[in-house]
């Protein structure tokens, strides 16, 4: 769990593979398969603007992580940081082309 099996051209021994342990793997976005419905690649969310259903700006998604139960967006504006759970009760609409996400500002979320 939490691991991937990866095959790389030119790496044919355990010693060669071990030398790459902890390395960052980068893939061209154009080579990735489309995300499944209601799913996204983390990099797609980075930089998206967050606004409330009332149209109030919240900030920009700067990080994404998983807490085990769901994904969480780290949203920052000039003076605050918010942790926004990526769940149906909170995330109401995502426009990937406009790089904009609409959230329901439930009590306590933006305090």
Question: What is the reported pLDDT for 6?
Answer: 79
Of 14-18, 20-24, 90-94, the range with the highest mean pLDDT is 90-94
Q: Where residue 11 falls among pLDDT bands split at 50, 70, 90?
A: very high
pTM metric for this prediction: 0.78
For residue 14, what are the contacts with CB-CB under 8 A and spacing of at least 6?
A: none
- Pairwise CA distance, residues 48 & 60, whole Å: 6
Which whole number is the average pLDDT over 89-107? 97
pLDDT (mean) for 7-19: 91
User: Could you tell me the pLDDT band of residue 3, with boundaries at 50, 70 and 90?
Assistant: low
Taking only the tens place, the pLDDT of each residue in 28-84 is 989 988 988 888 899 999 999 999 999 999 999 999 999 999 999 999 999 999 999
Q: Which long-range contacts (CB under 8 A, 24 or more apart) does 17-21 make?
A: none
What structural domains does the chain harbor? 42-103 (2.30.30.240)
Judged against a pLDDT cut of 70, whether residue 1 lies above it is answered with no
């Amino acid at each position: 769990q939490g691991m991937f099996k990866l095959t790389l051209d030119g790496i044919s021994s355990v010693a060669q593979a071990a030398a790459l342990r902890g390395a960052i793997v980068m893939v061209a976005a154009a080579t990735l398969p489309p995300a499944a419905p209601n799913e996204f690649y983390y990099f797609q969310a980075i930089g998206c603007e967050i606004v409330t259903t009332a149209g109030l700006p919240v900030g920009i998604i700067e990080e994404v992580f998983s807490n085990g139960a769901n994904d969480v967006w780290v949203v920052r504006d000039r003076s605050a940081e918010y942790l926004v759970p990526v769940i149906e009760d909170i995330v109401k609409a995502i426009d990937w082309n406009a790089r904009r996400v609409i959230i329901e500002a439930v009590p306590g979320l933006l305090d």
